[in-house]
Amino acid sequence: MATTAEIVERCQALFDDLHFETARAWKSAEPGRKVVGYMPIYVPREIIHAAGMLPLGILGGGDQLEVIHGDAYYQSYICRIPRSTIELGVSGRLDFVDGMLFPSICDVIRNLSGMWKLMFPEVYVRYFDVPQNYVDEIGGNYYVNELRELREGLEQLGGRKITDEALSRSIAVYNENRRLVGAVYDFRAERPWQAPASDVYLLTRAGMVLPVEEHNALLQDYLTAARAEEKPLRDNCRVVLTGMFCEQPPLNLIKSLELSGCYVVDDDLMLITRWLLDDVPTDGDPLDNLAKAFLHQSTATAAKYEPDLKEKGQHLVRAVRRTGAEGVIFAAPSFCDPALLDRPMLQHVLKAENIPYIAFKYAENSGQMQPIREQAGTFADSIKLWSET
């Protein structure tokens, strides 16, 4: 049985590989295979999987990619993820990717879809819109048709039909993935010293590049190993981390939070793996099932409209209560419209619930962790010293 260290070492290698060698190897293993990239925040990977293609999460270039060309496409006041993604594209690192999906998250990613069309005309490019109306007969019908268009687009790309049966099978595989990721998150919330935030991050991040079946096995192995191992419990406080759903923080930032005295017991990293909150039914019309899951059983986040004022921010309160967290850390990428515009409303909700919080910004290539470590350390100390609980 592999140890958690061995599993995390493998995930780290996947994380470090900016040429996507694993995905390239998957593609070249059989003739005719296709790879479809997607950006945050959510796409129904089940449809790509059912087409026999590999869904590949593209999350920017991190802090190890030197951005040479990408900066020439963006003004200084635009976040970093699109420029490093352009860098990945123009430097040939994505030359094996046959399709790219740009989800509805913000105007920068939305416009990047048009840029990709202009810059890489040979690639299948789709802006993937989702409804902001959650009524079955209105937003639901629209979304089912959007899913149908995506399905048809991928059928054309792959040159073969995507059957309902294949879709339902893919839904089942991703249900398993969601259950396993959920189990890892539950385990971490229960015993955060056994499952460090950086390990969990690398583990879920591996799911962006691996075939889902392999990722499921990896998650299962990690759970088994983590339950069997004993690690020392530190006097850390428990925090929920929020705002990191798109541009990724440097790995060092996640590690720094823990080193500064915070156990991360919930977060919104790799939100696609936990977007749908429950199993999607595997019987009946698969597109209808995916649509209903999106409308009625998907997570709250800044990129989605919250129709009910009373519900605004409650997902965060519930996350705090569910995980026994003692505070919330708002960590948003610089110039991130969704995270930064949403933040004051979420903070008002936390304040009303007497939940302490701090906020800072980062970029995927932030190098200086000391200020963040000091801020998080002070936050942790203040919770330990002054918290009423």
Partner 1 sequence: MSTATAQRPEVRKDDSMLKQKVMMAAHYDRLTSAKETGRKVASTFVPGNLNELVMCFDLLNNLPEVNAIQSGLRKQSGGYVMEAEKLGHSEDVCTYVKSDIGMMAKGNVGPNGKSLPAPDVLLLSYTGCFTFMKWFELLREQYQCETIMLHTPYEGDGKITANMRDYMVKQLKEEVIPTLERVSGVKFDIDRLREYLRESVKAEEDLVWVLQSAKNRPSPIDAYFGGIYYIGPIFGAFRGTPEATDYYRALRTEVDARVAAGKGPVTPEGDMGEEKYRLVVEGPPNYTSFREFWKMFYDEGAVVVASSYTKVGGVYDFGFRHDPDHPLESLADYCLGVYTNRNLPQRVDMLATYVDEYDADGLLINSIKSCNSFSAGQLLIMREVERRTGKPGAFIETDLVDPRYFSPANVKNRLESYFQMIEQKRSGRRAPAAPVAAADTGGVGGAA
Which positions lie near partner 1, rule CB under 8 A?
Answer: 71-78, 82, 102, 104-108, 110-115, 117-119, 126-129, 131-133, 135, 137-139, 141-142, 145-146, 149, 302-303, 305-307, 309, 312, 332, 334-338, 340-345, 347-348, 361
Q: Are 251 and 37 in contact (CB under 8 A)?
A: no
Could you give the CA distance from residue 335 to residue 349 in angstroms, rounded to a whole number?
23
DSSP track, 322-373: HHT-SEEEEEEETT-HHHHHHHHHHHHHHHHTT--EEEEEE-TT----HHHH
Nearer to partner 1, 145 or 297 (CB): 145
Rounded least distance, CB 129 to partner 1, Å: 5
Rounded least distance, CB 1 to partner 1, Å: 46
Rounded least distance, CB 378 to partner 1, Å: 19
Could you give the CA distance from residue 81 to residue 175 in angstroms, rounded to a whole number?
29
Rounded least distance, CB 79 to partner 1, Å: 9
Rounded least distance, CB 145 to partner 1, Å: 4
Element (H, E) at 21: helix 21-28
Nearer to partner 1, 238 or 304 (CB): 304
Nearer to partner 1, 271 or 332 (CB): 332
Of 373, 338, 341, 337, the residue nearest 358 (C-alpha): 373
DSSP track, 169-214: HHHHHHHHHHHHHHHHHHHHHH-TTTS-HHHHHHHHHHTTTS-HHH
Nearer to partner 1, 216 or 301 (CB): 301
Considering Cα of 192, then 196, then 201, then 206, what sign does the dihedral take? negative
Nearer to partner 1, 128 or 222 (CB): 128
Nearer to partner 1, 308 or 388 (CB): 308
Nearer to partner 1, 142 or 187 (CB): 142
Rounded least distance, CB 127 to partner 1, Å: 3
Q: Are 118 and 88 in contact (CB under 8 A)?
A: no
With a CB cutoff of 8 Å and minimum separation 6, the contacts of 232 are 193
Structure token digits, residue 196: 């460090």
Rounded least distance, CB 19 to partner 1, Å: 24
Q: Which amino acid is at 356?
A: P
